[in-house]
Homo-oligomer: A and B are copies of this chain.
């Protein structure tokens, strides 16, 4: 259950991360695993930003999970720093093994270490089991999440 290592992603992890992003009902339409260039460029940008923490979970040498944690300073709530979790993915072979919990607990602990007073994330309303999952981990579904896609 806890024999996963969670560590900062390296460039070598990009193909495994992209494969997980694409292996998803929503991601299948949005990703292009055969064209690595935009992913490599984005990885370089993440790696240079001290407020970005892209991590992977590894078991037996296989990259089987990922998430991105962004640390966001701000004035509201008495100058509170918050964190935002994005891009949580678990390899299909590892779902139901508790890895999602391990990854989110890592993100919460790292947020605390970074001085955050709040962790937040949004989940597509069509991901019906996500709500139970996050509520079990103590999150409150208190907000409505809005998105506006921009055309090229």
Give me the interface of A with B, judged by CB distance under 8 Å. Answer: 14, 17-18, 21, 27, 30-32, 35, 38-43, 45-46, 49, 51-52, 54, 68, 70, 72-81, 84, 86-87, 108, 111-112, 116-125, 130-131, 134-135, 137-150, 152
Contact = CB atoms under 8 A, between A and B. Distances in A.
Nearest to A130: B144
Given A68-B74, A78-B31, A144 B123 contact: yes
Nearest to A123: B144
10 contacts: A42-B79, A42-B81, A43-B75, A74-B86, A74-B87, A108-B148, A122-B144, A122-B146, A138-B148, A140-B148
A78 to B, nearest CB: 5
Copies of this protein chain in the complex: 2
Nearest to A48: B73
Contact of A150 (B18, B119, B131): B119
